């Protein structure tokens, strides 16, 4: 997950933070986004699908 994010261009401009939490044996990936970034809206749907698959 972290490698994939690092390889994406301009990701650091709108991904604020990534947290992985284990709740009752299930790992949850929490991605904080900066919605003010100009290219965020274009990639948001793709990233949400990507995050859900992982």
Question: What's the DSSP call for residue 34?
Answer: -
Question: Tokens 């390889």 sit at which residue?
Answer: 7
Q: What pLDDT, on the 0 to 100 scale, is given for residue 19?
A: 78
pTM of the model: 0.31
Tokens encoding 48: 């949400």
**Dist. CA 46–CA 20, nearest whole Å:** 20
List the pLDDT tens digit at each of the 54 positions of the chain: 444 554 555 554 566 777 777 778 877 777 776 665 555 455 555 565 555 555
pLDDT of residue 3: 45
What is the model's pLDDT at position 17?
72
Q: Which long-range contacts (CB under 8 A, 24 or more apart) does 24-33 make?
A: 29/1, 29/54
Rg (CA), the chain: 12
pLDDT at site 28: 77
């Amino acid at each position: 997950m972290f490698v994939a994010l690092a390889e994406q261009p301009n990701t650091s401009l709108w991904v604020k933070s990534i947290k992985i939490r284990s709740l009752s044996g299930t790992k949850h990936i929490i991605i904080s986004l900066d919605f003010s970034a100009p290219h965020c809206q274009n990639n948001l749907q793709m990233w949400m699908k990507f995050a859900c698959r992982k």
